[in-house]
Amino acid sequence: MAKEKAPESTPKPDNGPKRILLVDDDAEIIDAMRYALETKGYKIFIARDGNQGLAMAEREDPDLVILDMMMPKRSGFLVLEKLRRTRETPVRVIMITANEGSRHKAYAQMLGVDDYLRKPFAMDKLLDTVERLLA
């Protein structure tokens, strides 16, 4: 009697934990955000650059993307622009950056970012923003 194989990828459950994609090339920031968000019950996916982030957003269909502005291969701006152009239902996006410039924030807002946090940020502020956007 042969065992049935489980399906490779499971469809997004409507009542399961909210799914968050973290896209950042800084391992320490990824680890801190992952820990804080998993503690709150979120399912976390991780991408280390913009190209990987786009591929993972397409494959995993997250409820929220937390996106670094400055990354190798493809900037957060280019990822945000592509997410806004290619998805029928816009995914919520929080952009994080160490950049102080107000022009960058204005550009991110023009591209349709849902929120914008400057590094370093208090983890409580991130969690509050995530909860508000996913409510």
Evaluate if residue 13 carries a pLDDT over 60: no
Please give the average per-residue pLDDT across 80-94, as a whole number: 91
- What would the pLDDT profile of 34-59 be if each residue is shown by its tens digit? 999 999 999 999 999 999 999 999 99
Confidence (pLDDT) at 99:
85
Q: H-type helices in 40-97, by residue range?
A: 50-60, 76-86
Confidence of residue 114 (pLDDT cuts 50, 70, 90): very high
CATH assignment, 21-134: 3.40.50.2300
Domain ranges of the chain: 21-134
Beta-bridge partners for 46: 22
Integer CA distances (angstroms), 27 to 33, 68, 109, in order? 10, 12, 26
Please name which of 59, 100, 60, 58 lies closest in space to residue 79, comparing C-alpha atoms.
58
The lowest-confidence range among 1-15, 23-37, 65-79, 113-127 is: 1-15
Between 37 and 10, the more confident residue is 37
The DSSP 8-state label assigned to residue 40 in this structure reads T
Evaluate if residue 1 carries a pLDDT over 80: no
| Residue 88 token pair | 């029928």
Please give the average per-residue pLDDT across 82-111, as a whole number: 90
